[in-house]
Amino acid sequence: MPGKPDGPDLQRLDRVVAQARRAREERERGYRERALKLYPWICGRCAREFERANLHELTVHHKDHDHDHNPADGSNWELLCLYCHDNEHQRSLAPAGTPLGEPDPAAGATQTPFASLAALLKRDDAL
C-alpha cells in the first residue's frame, strides 16, 4: 500500500484551482476596466444606459467568444447588459435536439419562401 495520496494531492489541487480562479478573476477585472474606460456605459443591444450604481449589470462580451482574446483597441469587446449578454450567448447555441450538420426542417421551411422571393425580385429587376 503506497500510503494515501488523496489528502495532500487534493489540497494541492484545491490550491491550483484557487490560483487559476484568482488569475482568471484578475484577468477579467483587467479587461472589464479597460473596456469600461474605452466605451460609453451603454448596452450595445438595448441601449440601456448605466451609471456607477448599476454598473455591475453591464458586462463585457467577447465578440469571438474567446475570453483570452483581448486586443488593446477593444475590437473584440462589446458592452452588454446582463440580459442582452445572456441572449447573445443563447442565440449562438444550436437549437436543442438539432444535430449539427443536419438540415433543420423548420429552418428550411422559413428559408424557402425568402429564397423564391429573392429569385422573383431578381427576375423583376431583369424585366
Question: Which region among 5-13, 15-23, 26-34, 44-52 touches Zn ion (by CB under 5 A)?
Answer: 44-52
- CB of 97 vs Zn ion, minimal distance in Å: 24
Q: Does residue 43 interact with Zn ion by CB under 5 A?
A: yes
**Residue with Cβ nearer Zn ion (35 or 43):** 43
Q: Does residue 55 interact with Zn ion by CB under 5 A?
A: no
Among 36, 38, 39, 45, binds Zn ion (CB under 5 A): 45
Q: Which of residues 68-107 bind Zn ion (CB under 5 A)?
A: 81, 84
Q: What share of the chain is helix, strand, coil (3-state, %, to 5)?
A: 55, 10, 35
Among 10, 16, 17, 46, binds Zn ion (CB under 5 A): 46
Binding site for Zn ion (CB under 5 A): 43, 45-46, 61, 81, 84
